[in-house]
Each structure stands twice: as C-alpha cells, then as structure tokens.
Structure 1
Amino acid sequence: MKKTFVIIIFLFAFSESSKAQDYFYEKSFNLLSDMLEGKEVLDFKNAVFSVENAYLKGRLDTIILNNEISMLSSLAKKIQSERNLTYDGRDKSKVEKYASLFSIMNDSIKVQDQDGKIFYYIPFAYDFEDPFGHEDWKSMFVTELLRTKKGNCHSLPYLYKILAEELGVDAHLALAPNHVYIKHKSEKDGWYNTELTSGIFPIDAWLMASGYIHIDAIRNGVYMKALTDKESIALCLVDLAQGYQRQEFYDLDFVIKCADKALEYFPNYVNAMILKTEVKGKKIENLLYEKNTNFSDVNKYPETRKILLNIQNELGVIHELGYRQMPEDMYLNWLVSLKEEREKYSNKKINTFNNKTN
C-alpha cells in the first residue's frame, strides 16, 4: 500500500511538472503567433527569449539579460561615436552601426570607463564542442552565448539581430545548409554577407562551395535569401518545437502546430517541413506500437498507410524545392574552410569600407 502511494505521488508530481512546462511552451507559441498575426509588435529579442524561457521552464532572468543587451548596445554606440569609417554613402550612419556590431561580435576592444579605468572587452567565439546542441540544447541559446561567450551559427546571428534592433537598424537572417548568417544591404555595394562564426564578410561563392546549395533552393527562397522579420519569427517557432521535443514525453500535435504556423508565414521553410515529416513518422510508430506490430505492417492499416503516403508526398516537395541534406562533419569542414581560404572568399569591397579611421 505504501509503495503504491509513493508511485501515485511520483506520477502526480511528474504530471504537474509536465503541465508547468507545457504552459510556458503554449505561452511562447501564443506570443509568436500574435506577433505574426499583428496582435503584438514584432520583437525578435522577446521572441527568442520566450522560446528559451519555455525550455528553461520559466526560469529565465529577463532583467539580467536585458541589462546585458543594453550594455552591449551602449558599447556599440560608444565604438560608433569614437571612430569613422572610410565608407561615404548616404547611409553611412546605418553602416557605422553594422560595423560597430561586427566589432562587438568579433574584436577585442580597449575600453575606458567613466572613472578612467581601462579594461579589455573579449569578443564571442565559436563553440566547436557542441555546435548542434546534441549534448545540451542550451548550446543553441543566446542566453548561453551571453553566459559563456561561446556560440554557434544559431546563437551568434540571433544575438547580432537582437543588437541591431536595439540600435534601430535592420539585420536580415539568411539560411544555408545547417547554417544561419546575416545579410545586409548598403547603398553603395548592395547586398553583402556577414559571417559571425569566423568574423568575415564572405562572397556568395563560399556559400555555394559547400556543394549542398542546389540552384532550385536559391530560386525557391530556401537558401541565401534575406529573411523578413516575420520569417525570422517563423524560425523561432521551429526552435520552440525542437526544444519541446527534448522532453521525455511530448505532444506530437503541438510540434506540428508550431511547424504549420511557421509555414504559414515562411512557406518554403524546409526545416519546418522536415520537422513535420519526422513527427508524422513518430505517429506511425505509435499507432503500430498500439497494434503490437512494427513498420513492416505500415501498409496493412489504412490510418498508417495514409500518413506514410502524406510523408512521401511532403518529402517529394522538399526535394523539388532543392533541399539536400548536408552531413554534420562536412558542414564543420566547410565552416573551417572560410578561415583557411579567407583571401579567396572574403568580400574585398566590404573589408575596405569596414576599415576604421580614428
């Protein structure tokens, strides 16, 4: 009797914990949806922090985080005020803000405080230990980047975009296989790329050098497109779903709901499409498990056969869009190639106007 009582208490506690976690995920989903639907102001910082807060079960200290963001923004403004770029376009003020943010992300900076004391600001670095969040999903977080000063192609461009919005300028996220980077546009030089994992302005040829960007993927806006603010929020919805999946038990329909909402505002977002096919595959597994059988009988039952056909159709669409899966080890080698072949892939025009004069 005592043992049964303990089990009941454990199950009740587990259920309450799960409900609490689901509450924060639903809260974040509603916020992101309201932003997309125009019921809330589009705010990338709030979107990102709501997603990370859901995974952390509401334990995110937004006061400390906002103070850190404000500190970095103030430092960027200080850098901008104390130097002058060689760039002379009419949008110089905007480009100066981009340059100051680039320094925040990549440069060691000598800083003097109000009391005259000198200290050195240490920039952010790439985390090669867990770049995909396999060991710890928090490795993908902006909050973890701020804490450790190490990040990846997810957290680094996310932080950059957050800081850009704090300074009142736009910063467009852009996608490549397994990768996120920044696209800017200047009056004199048009669109250019900003790569924060290595602190370089790469030309498009580097992106194509991965070998996994099909021309159809570019034509269909899957890769190398400057995302709108709403499309960036769509990325947050998939982040939310991926964090949610890392619970021991989770509702498959919630994941699909996140993917569907993301696709509503970013129709060719292949990560959302792939997420849906994976979850539908899990639904097939669950249905077959209930029937005490395995995938060999998938065509035996109308409900599982229907889901399988749906998955096959969706995978066909994904392939037609130009998506090709890039192995993780090849991705890391491609990323390193930018540093090793810096001269070959660096945008000389952007490097020139990013040179500073005191």
Structure 2
Amino acid sequence: MSYERAKLTFDHIIAPELDEAAVTAEIDQLASVATRIAANGSDVDKLKAARQVIYEAGAWNDNRPFVYDHDDPYGRDLRNKLLTTYLDTRRGNCVSMPILQLIVAERLGLNVSLSTAPLHVFMRYTNPTNGRSIAIESTSGGHPARESEYFEQMGVTQAQVDSGIYLGVLTKRESIAVIASTVTEWLMSQGRYDEAIAVAEVLLEYYPTDVHAMLTRGSAHGELLRTEFIERFPNPQTIPPSLRPRFQMLASQNAEAFRQAEAWGWKPPDR
C-alpha cells in the first residue's frame, strides 16, 4: 500500500464525505510538476523538486505555497490533520505537512519514511546505496534537519532513541501506523474507547514501540474505567462483585500501558 492510499483510507474513516478524487488530482499535479523539475536527476534533485512544488510559490500550487499553521501547530482540531484541509487551506501542522511531502516524495520513487519526536512527526530520506538517513523537517520549509536539533529543541533523550520510540528510521509498515494515529485520536474524541483500543493494538502489531499507540491504549482503558466505574461508583467498595473483574482489568491495563511507555523513556509533557 502506498502512503497516499493509506492516508486517504484513514482520512475517509474520519470524514467519509471528503472528495477523494479532488485530493488525488491535486497530488497528481504536484507530483507531475516535481517529476518534470527533477528531470530524471539524482535523489537530491528529486528531494529538492518535491520541496519546491510544496513550499515555493508557482503555477504548480496556484502561487499559494504551503505554510505552517501557527494557530494550530499540533492539529488539536483533528480536521486540520486531514490531507484535504491542508490542500484547501495551505496551512498545515506537524502531521499533515510531513505526510504530504512523504506522498510526493514517494511518487518520485524516493526511499522515504516517517519518524517521530515528542508531539511531532517528520520525514526521513534513506539513501538506498549506503543506508545513510537524513531528517527532513516539513514544518521548516521541507529542508534537511540535524539530528541534534531534536535533542536540543524537543527534549529527545538517548534512552528514547535506544528504545525505538523516537527518531527511528521506520519501515513502511511502521510509518503507516504513524499515519493511522489520527484515527485513534478521532475514536477517542468520539468516546469510542473500545474501538480505539482495538485500533491501537493493531498499530502496535505494525510498530511495536509506537508510544503514541501505547499511550492511546492506556488512555482508552482509563476512560472506560472512568465512565463505567469511577463516575458510577465513587467508592470502589460499592462496585458489585460481578463487575469487579472488569474494573480490575481496566485499571490494570491502564496502568500497564503507562508503565510500558515510561519504561521506553517516555515522559509526560509537564515533566
């Protein structure tokens, strides 16, 4: 499955009314122009072409280059993480921006994937000949970034890198799991906690150290614990015996997910 097909599939789950054909047509336009600009050049030429059609004003983007949305940089409004929103508004975040650049780069035949940092997603290009990987920072004009920037500016630690939760050179399956994270966020926002758990567990099969999926799994169990027990039985001693196994399971799964995330080196944002 291409990154484009994966993203369109996941976006359709969230917003089935979206015009997929229109999104595909816009991507076709960007990729077609980038292909002409690269003119069968090197991978460096192709990376530059993919960056140019997105971030530089020209006929290929109706002289409306794509920019960072400082009003919603994290995509708190989930619709801002949809590809169609980014294409329509030309204002993106740390999810929609790297995914569009990833899709165009893949269309050009480049060996690209996603990677993550705390509350952040970025693109990687890996040289198929020597295996060297570089970070491409889509929120800063689509240019290469130094690995040290993620340690200095985002607080990434070596323990987090060693455990595999941040800055990894992800496989395609793992990258698709990152793209799918918006679906779990949407399910959580809809109060569909059991479904969020089910999807998070699939994502962990694709990407075993997906800390976002692990945290979603824990949070969803916590929300079920809240809605089924804490709100109904403020005093745990009043929980009927027949319901106690479920209460204990939810509490255990909630705690275990956060224990695992912390064992990987994850820290809550306020630490």
- Give TM-score scaled by structure 1 length: 0.68
- For residue 99 of structure 1, the aligned residue among 26, 48, 51 is 48
- Corresponding residue for 2:6? 47
- For residue 253 of structure 1, the aligned residue among 194, 199, 216 is 194
Per-residue CA deviation, residues 216-273 of structure 1 (Å, 9 max, x unaligned), is 21011111112111112212332212122333xx432211110000001101001000
Per-residue CA deviation, residues 59-109 of structure 1 (Å, 9 max, x unaligned), is 12121111101110111122223xx9xxxxxxx522211111111222234
In 2, the alpha carbon distance for the partners of 1:139 and 1:79 equals 29
- For residue 70 of structure 1, the aligned residue among 9, 21, 28 is 28
Structure number with greater CO (CA < 8 Å, separation at least 6) is 1
In 2, the alpha carbon distance for the partners of 1:188 and 1:217 equals 25
Q: Are residues 1:170 and 2:111 paired?
A: yes
Higher CA-based Rg: 1
- Corresponding residue for 2:261? 318
How big is the shift at 1:211?
A: 5.3
How big is the shift at 1:298?
A: 7.8
- Corresponding residue for 2:224? 283
Distance 1:306 1:298, change over 3 A: farther
Q: Are residues 1:61 and 2:2 paired?
A: no
In 1, the alpha carbon distance for the partners of 2:238 and 2:212 equals 27
Alignment root-mean-square deviation, CA: 2.5
- For residue 249 of structure 2, the aligned residue among 292, 298, 306 is 306
- Corresponding residue for 2:155? 212
Aligned residues: 265
Taking the TM superposition and a 5 Å limit, the aligned residue runs for 1:113-192 are 121-134=63-76, 136-186=77-127, 190-192=132-134
In 2, the alpha carbon distance for the partners of 1:225 and 1:76 equals 27
What SS class does the counterpart of residue 124 from structure 2 fall into?
A: strand
In 2, the alpha carbon distance for the partners of 1:73 and 1:211 equals 31
**Does the CA-based 8 Å contact 1:141-1:155 persist in structure 2?**
yes
**Does the CA-based 8 Å contact 1:284-1:298 persist in structure 2?**
no
Residue type of the partner of 2:68?
A: Y
- Corresponding residue for 1:293? 233
In 2, the alpha carbon distance for the partners of 1:254 and 1:306 equals 17
In 2, the alpha carbon distance for the partners of 1:261 and 1:121 equals 41
Q: Are residues 1:226 and 2:169 paired?
A: yes
Between 281-290 and 315-324, report the one with greater CA deviation: 281-290
Mark the runs of 5 or more structure 1 residues left unpaired by the alignment. 1-41, 85-91, 114-118, 331-358
In 1, the alpha carbon distance for the partners of 2:257 and 2:237 equals 17
- Corresponding residue for 1:89? none
How big is the shift at 1:131?
A: 2.1
Taking the TM superposition and a 5 Å limit, the aligned residue runs for 1:232-243 are 232-243=175-186
Question: Structure 1 residue runs of 4+, over 4 Å off?
Answer: none
Distance 1:189 1:272, change over 3 A: closer
**Does the CA-based 8 Å contact 2:115-2:169 persist in structure 1?**
yes
What SS class does the counterpart of residue 128 from structure 1 fall into?
A: coil
**Does the CA-based 8 Å contact 2:56-2:65 persist in structure 1?**
yes
**Does the CA-based 8 Å contact 2:123-2:135 persist in structure 1?**
yes
- Give TM-score scaled by structure 2 length: 0.88
**Does the CA-based 8 Å contact 1:145-1:155 persist in structure 2?**
yes
What SS class does the counterpart of residue 123 from structure 2 fall into?
A: strand
Identity of aligned residues (%): 25
Distance 1:316 1:153, change over 3 A: same
Residue type of the partner of 2:137?
A: E
- Corresponding residue for 1:347? none
